[in-house]
Structure 1
Amino acid sequence: MAESDLDLDAWRDRVRDYRERKDAFLERDDDSPLAGRDGFDGLDYYEPDPEYRVVARYEPRQTPETVVLEMAKGSDGGDGPSEAEYEAAAAFGFTVGGEFTTLTGYRTPGQETLLVPFTDETTGDTTPAMGRYLDVDVEGVDARDEVALDFNLAYAPFAHYDDAYASPLPPTDNHVPARIDAGERTLD
């Protein structure tokens, strides 16, 4: 779909619905790092902004490379598994905030959805110091096709909320050299 064909009202409704479902999961589900937390009434989000829904060129790797990503456990990056294997499966090239950048998408073997861990100029300020993630579904997408990266759906790793979870840290080269004032903010 061309970006000019985007129905902004329907898109905003989808973003709000996603956030409502996520907050409900985080509040009630036993697998949530925030289940039962006193006073939890939802995450803190930036207002949906279509500027942060960008078109990226999808470049899958012919042969995904197995890489080791550093892991963090807990909001302070404390004790936990120190690393885990992922496949560096694709690159996404795009422009945001006037800056061109490329982010790598990773997967665990057998998964189609790619994890795009990233940092940006909000990291450690209004967003978690350990970075944030995007999930990108590339099933049926051909090489060099354009895909939407919607940073309005950027989320914090579970390890940011609870020391019982371990989460991969974004590699240093998965940094967006601009502010991404979209998605989840740091939860106080």
Structure 2
Amino acid sequence: MNRIVLLLSLLFLTAACAQNATPTSEAMAFQKRLNEEFKDGKTSPLPKDAIKKFTALAFFPIDERYVVQARLIPTPDSEPFEMPTTTARKPMYKKYGELHFDFEGVPVVLSVFQNLELLDKADHKNSLFLPFTDLTSGVSSYGGGRYMDLQIPSGDSLTLNFNLAYNPYCVYNHKYSCPIPPEENYIKAEIKAGVMDYKYE
């Protein structure tokens, strides 16, 4: 769990440092930080033998077509619920709102969530969690879907840079318990951005 919190902190740090950066430079910084984390035995989710062989994660080419502006519609009356995971663990989440946008002519509505445990941490009180699947899932990206970490905006518009999409830790090590993206967060388009599926050497 501590490693998951550390990953979230690294991702939020990347976003904070890149507020005035372009989506491309933000994605480059994200890729660099993620590879550094995976190479470090203290922070890597990989098994010890895999860390020794690790060189870099596979990413889709950075493409600003996958940077979209979404309208955030809050759902303040949503009740807390147990989110299914890849194990018996069921962490408590709450649906914060819905993200509405069009991607290449396809209307998309995604639910975005808050982890109630992380809300107790000062650094994550404005954190939002976006798990999703798309037409690349099980083909060129992980079949179980990917995640994005977001921040609550000051208004009703939120930038989604899918070049920052990453895999759940259970892709790399079965000891981790990972939230399963809900069916409602299936994007009927290919999101060829972010981290690709991991291939064991």
Report the TM-score, using the length of structure 2 for normalisation.
Answer: 0.79
Residue 160 of structure 1: how far off its partner (Å): 1.0
Q: Which has the higher contact order (CA 8 A, sep 6+)?
A: 1
Structure with a larger share of its residues in strand: 1
Query: For residue 86 of structure 1, what is the aligned residue in structure 2?
Result: 93
Counterparts of residues 25-174 of structure 1 (less than 5 Å): 25-34=37-46, 36=48, 37-72=51-86, 80-109=87-116, 110=119, 111-138=125-152, 140-142=153-155, 145-174=156-185
Instruction: Render the CA deviation track for 1:51-103: whole Å, top value 9, x for unaligned.
Output: 1001000111223421222101xxxxxxx225332111111011113211111
Q: Percent identity?
A: 27
Q: Secondary structure at the match of 2:79?
A: strand
Residue 35 of structure 1: how far off its partner (Å): 6.3
Aligned partners of 2:166 and 2:195 also within 8 Å: yes
Q: Distance in 1 between matches of 2:161 and 2:22?
A: 14
- In 1, Cα distance between the equivalents of 2:41 and 2:31? 15
For the pair 1:180 / 2:186, whether they are aligned, the reply is: no
Query: 1:124-182 deviations in whole A, cap 9, x for unaligned?
Result: 110111100011111x523xx21101100000000111011101000011111100000
Q: Return the TM-score normalized by structure 1.
A: 0.84
- Give the whole-Å Cα distance in 2 for the aligned partners of 1:95 and 1:67: 28
Partner of residue 19 from structure 1, selected from 31, 55, 58: 31
| Partner Cα separation in structure 2 for residue 100 and residue 10 of structure 1 | 25
Letter aligned with residue 39 of structure 2: E
What residue ranges of structure 1 are gaps of 5+ in the alignment?
1-8, 73-79
- Structure 1: which 4+ aligned runs deviate by more than 3 Å? none
SS of corresponding position for 2:74: strand
CA–CA separation in structure 2 for the residues paired with 1:60 and 1:107: 12
How much is the aligned-residue C-alpha RMSD, in angstroms? 1.6
Letter in 2 for 1:31: T
Summarize the Cα distance change of 1:112–1:35 in structure 2 as closer, same or farther, 3 Å threshold.
farther
Which 5+ residue runs of structure 2 have no aligned equivalent? 1-20, 120-124
- 2: CA distance, partners of 1:31 / 1:159: 14
